[in-house]
A = this chain, B = another copy of it.
């Protein structure tokens, strides 16, 4: 069985739990406690020299970086698909995912917030404002892109979950944690609600993981 090295509150870990659940793949949950710096310890670094969760061990393969891992899962376990059948659709879904994965999430990562606090000396109010700034900028673009899609169903792209939803739901979870007002983003909120109604998403939520505080 696959082993997922992850942390309940990590957004990139959350993505993989959703993708694995959507594909109906069982996995062993291996908790890496970021609060105790386990990701920086020798045992985990032997698996991933970068010292970041998640990592997925699939047979002999050690896989790192959630964008690469979701593509691996899509290639190895194509059903149900998380990418559309047409090239234009795939480009759109990957763009929505990358908007979140490159332009929102990395800026609010734990190590970045620690740098703002400890190296640059900012207080929690400034850190929260920082997070809200990048989430709001990304969500405004995402909301415009969702609103402009005449073929959109209940999810980010069409009528079933794709990689874009795999990225969106953890980012909405994080936005709520940072106190972002979601009222300006009705399409995002609607997609998040449609996802939450599916067991694959519900079972992946941070709050119901074994290492949840």
The interface residues of chain A, by DSSP majority, are classed as helix
Q: Tell yes or no: A102 within 8 A of B by CB.
A: yes
Known: A76-B87, A103-B52, A133-B115. A68 touches B126 (CB 8 A): no
Q: Tell yes or no: A130 within 8 A of B by CB.
A: yes
Interface 1/0 per residue, A64-92 and B, CB below 8 Å? 11111101100110000000000110111
**Measured between alpha carbons, how far is A111 from B64 in the docked complex, in Å?**
28
Q: Tell yes or no: A94 within 8 A of B by CB.
A: yes
Q: Which residues of B contact A75 (CB under 8 A)?
A: 87, 90
Within 8 A of B (CB), among A148-184: 148
Which one of B63, B103, B119 lies within 8 Å of A91 (CB-CB)? B63
Cβ distance A84 to chain B, nearest Cβ, rounded Å: 12
Q: Tell yes or no: A41 within 8 A of B by CB.
A: no
Q: Tell yes or no: A95 within 8 A of B by CB.
A: yes
Q: Tell yes or no: A49 within 8 A of B by CB.
A: yes
**Measured between alpha carbons, how far is A189 from B107 in the docked complex, in Å?**
27
Q: Which residues of B contact A102 (CB under 8 A)?
A: 65, 67, 101-102, 105-106
Known: A106-B107, A107-B107. A141 touches B51 (CB 8 A): yes
Which residue on B lies nearest to A71, using beta carbons?
Answer: B94
A71 and B91 contact, CB distance less than 8 A:
yes
Q: Tell yes or no: A213 within 8 A of B by CB.
A: no
**Measured between alpha carbons, how far is A69 from B111 in the docked complex, in Å?**
28
Q: Tell yes or no: A98 within 8 A of B by CB.
A: yes
Q: A52, A71, A105: which has the most chain B beta carbons within 10 Å?
A: A71
Q: Tell yes or no: A125 within 8 A of B by CB.
A: no
Cβ distance A144 to chain B, nearest Cβ, rounded Å: 4
Q: Which residues of B contact A137 (CB under 8 A)?
A: 111
Q: List 8 A-B contacts (CB under 8 A).
A: A49-B140, A50-B138, A50-B141, A65-B102, A68-B95, A71-B90, A72-B87, A120-B120
The 3 closest A-B pairs by CB, nearest first: A68-B94, A50-B141, A49-B144
